[in-house]
Every structure is written in C-alpha cells, then in structure tokens.
C-alpha cells in the first residue's frame, strides 16, 4: 500500500487539533472522509480539511476508497466500532485504551488476524525522539543498573459532563491516564509483568475510578511504581533510579511538536540538566502505522494490545480484591 486512505470515526477535539493535522503533515496518507453523529460537525470538518463529511459512523464502513480508520471514540464504543471496522476489512488506528477487558481485546485481535488487518493503539509518546534517550538508561551505565521506575500521569478534574466520568463510555482514570503509565512500564521492563499491588479510588458520584496506583515486577527483579488520576496537580513524569544515579524527565507523555523536553541527571557529583530537541510524535505515529502496514508484519502489535489489556485488567482485579478484604 503506497499511501493510506484514511477515514476518521468521530469528531473528537484531539483528533481535530492534533492527529488529523499530523496526518496531513506526515506524508503517510490522505484524509478521505470524516464521520460524525452530527451533520453540522461533519460539514465543519469537510470544510476545514477538504474531505467528505458524513453523518453516521457506519457510512465510513461502506466506503471502498478508505483503507484505514482512525477511531478516537471513547473506549466504551471501541468494541462495537473497532469490531465493525475490522469486519468491513479496514485497518484500525485506535485511541487508548483499546478496550475495557482482555476478553474483548482477544476477540478483536482474533478478528484482525483472520482478516490480516492491522489494529494498533495510539501510544504516540513512545515515538518521540526523547524516548530513545530515556530508554537508553536501561542498558547504559550512566546511572548504574536501574532497579526502580516511577511514573506519574495525573491532572486536575474535568467537568462532570466530560466523557471520562461516564462509566458506559469506558470512563475512569485507569483506562485514561493509567494506560500511559502501564505502557511505559511495559516498554522499559518488558511484557508479561506481574502486578504485585494495585488500588483504585472510586468516585461516588459518577461510579468511575478517580485515581489509582500500581506496582509491577519483571522476571529480573526490576520494579515499576506508577500513579495516575483525575484529581492531581498536573504530573507527567518518568523517573529511573539506578545504583549510581537518578534520571527524571519532565514531559514524557505529552510533549507537543514545539516543546523541547529536558531531563535531570542526579549523581554523587551533583545535578545536570540535559535539554532535548523538539519533535513531532504525532507525525511519527502515522509514519510508523504506515510502515507496519506496508510490512505486513502485525504480530508484535497484536501482542502489545493483548499484554496492555491484560495489565489493565489485572490492576482492576487486584484493586477490587483489595477493596473486598
């Protein structure tokens, strides 16, 4: 496939502000159509991006001039619409979290495998150029052997009408902010992590988890401690603690294209700040998706989807078990 022909399912603000402009900058494909529940929203997108505006998500599935669907819908709608997209023969780039449970993830991955389709979760942060530098500390001796990872992603509460507070749409801090800190732990410590502890603080008014924390361990004894939530002073941090030093990043998950990240290195010799170049992870996400699509090798992405779903499900299971004690 030389150039992706993309349809967007849903008029999310993030898609409109960030992912669609990044697609147009990336050179990886063209935007063919956007579908919304609202005819007015679809018309606005059509005028802004020069694409077709469709009323109703299902109309995208009928298009023979679309190869890839980008689905930024709430997690609670992914089972239906990712499933229908894959059944219609469309490759899928989906916003995190993929689905609320491992069982549903397995169903959708099996459907993708049968139809030889790519389905991929949009963890764009791992494609920012800073990630190569951050992950290099796991193998180098700059801070010695890394024993402990700490990661926090949290922000102040959203208005109560926000989809993140709606359980029927897959709301809650775990599937939103928690997905990031779980993913960063897997990327650094490997798949198959054991969840050794977890808790979730529920919001009585909405019935979703407001914040939480978890601890993971790999087979080499390395540990990740993570925290996430909707009731925080803004935090977007990664810390690596080694035998001879410590590394702290300042914006690991949400570095915009014009943002220059920095990291702080602490050692017995003092503190040093290292500034890193700005980069466009959103463009890299589209280019990466196109590269994997053209390669035809989808197994690693399927395994990543399933392991991420397993980890989030384990956090929820352990947290619920703890609450019953």
Are the CB atoms for 310 and 136 separated by under 8 Å?
no
Q: Mark whether 91 and 76 lie in a shared domain.
A: yes
Query: Would the CA dihedral through 232, 233, 235, 240 be positive or negative?
Result: negative
Q: Mark whether 135 and 274 lie in a shared domain.
A: yes
Does residue 310 sit in helix, strand or coil? helix
Q: Mark whether 191 and 268 lie in a shared domain.
A: yes
- Is 307 inside any structural domain? no
Q: Mark whether 163 and 261 lie in a shared domain.
A: yes
- Is 322 inside any structural domain? no
Q: Spell 2-35 as b/e; 16+ CB within 10 A means b.
A: eebbbbbbbbbeebbebbbbbbbebebbebbbbb
> What is the CA angle 310-314-161, rounded to 5?
90
Question: What is the DSSP track for 36-56?
Answer: ES-HHHHHHHHHHHSSEEEES
- Is 226 inside any structural domain? yes
- Is 114 inside any structural domain? yes
Q: Mark whether 34 and 94 lie in a shared domain.
A: yes
How many domains, in total, are found in the chain?
2
Taking alpha carbons only, the member of 78, 76, 79, 99 closest to residue 166 is 76
Are the CB atoms for 230 and 173 separated by under 8 Å?
yes
Q: Measuring CA to CA, how many Å separate 278 from each of 24, 190, 257? A: 19, 27, 6
Task: Spell out the per-residue pLDDT of the chain, length 325, in tens.
Answer: 459 999 999 999 999 999 999 999 999 999 999 999 999 999 999 999 999 999 999 999 999 999 999 999 999 999 999 999 999 999 999 999 999 999 999 999 999 999 999 999 999 999 999 999 999 999 999 999 999 999 999 999 999 999 999 999 999 999 999 999 999 999 999 999 999 999 999 999 999 999 999 999 999 999 999 999 998 999 999 999 999 999 999 999 999 999 999 999 999 999 999 999 999 999 999 999 999 999 999 999 999 999 999 999 999 999 988 666 5
In the set 79, 90, 96, 246, the catalytic residue is: 96
- Is 42 inside any structural domain? yes
- Is 315 inside any structural domain? no
Boundaries of domain holding 25: 4-122+283-297
96 catalytic? Reply is: yes
Q: Mark whether 13 and 85 lie in a shared domain.
A: yes
Alpha helix segments (H runs only) across the chain? 13-14, 20-26, 39-49, 58-61, 78-87, 102-114, 129-136, 179-189, 281-295, 299-324
> Model's pTM, two decimal places?
0.95
Q: Mark whether 172 and 90 lie in a shared domain.
A: no
């Amino acid at each position: 496939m030389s150039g992706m022909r993309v349809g967007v399912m849903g008029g999310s603000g993030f898609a409109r502000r960030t992912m669609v402009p990044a697609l147009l900058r990336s050179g990886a494909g063209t935007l063919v159509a956007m579908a919304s529940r609202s005819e007015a929203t679809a018309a606005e997108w059509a005028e802004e991006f020069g694409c077709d505006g469709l009323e109703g998500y299902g109309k995208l599935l009928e298009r023979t001039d679309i190869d890839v669907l980008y689905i930024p819908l709430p997690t609670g709608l992914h089972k239906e619409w990712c499933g229908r997209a894959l059944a219609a023969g469309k490759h899928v780039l989906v916003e995190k979290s993929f689905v609320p449970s491992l069982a549903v993830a397995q169903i959708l991955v099996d459907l993708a495998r049968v139809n030889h389709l790519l389905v991929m979760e949009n963890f764009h942060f791992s494609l920012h150029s800073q990630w190569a530098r951050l992950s290099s500390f796991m193998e180098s001796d700059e801070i010695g052997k890394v024993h402990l990872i700490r990661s926090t992603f949290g922000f102040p509460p959203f208005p109560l009408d926000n989809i993140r507070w709606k359980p029927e749409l897959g709301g809650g801090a775990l599937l939103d902010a928690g997905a990031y800190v779980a993913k960063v732990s897997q990327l650094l410590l490997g798949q198959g992590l054991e969840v050794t502890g977890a808790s979730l603080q529920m919001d009585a008014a909405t019935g979703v988890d407001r914040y939480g924390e978890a601890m993971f361990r790999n087979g080499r004894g390395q540990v990740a401690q993570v925290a996430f939530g909707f009731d925080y002073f803004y935090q977007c941090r990664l810390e690596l603690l080694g035998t001879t030093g410590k590394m702290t990043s300042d914006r690991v998950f949400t570095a915009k294209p014009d943002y220059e990240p920095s990291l702080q290195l602490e050692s017995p010799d003092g503190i040093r700040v290292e500034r890193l170049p700005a980069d466009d992870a959103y463009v890299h996400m589209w280019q990466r998706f196109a590269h994997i699509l053209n390669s035809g090798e989808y197994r690693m992405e399927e395994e990543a989807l399933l392991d991420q779903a397993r980890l989030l499900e384990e956090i929820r299971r352990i947290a619920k078990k703890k609450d019953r004690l």
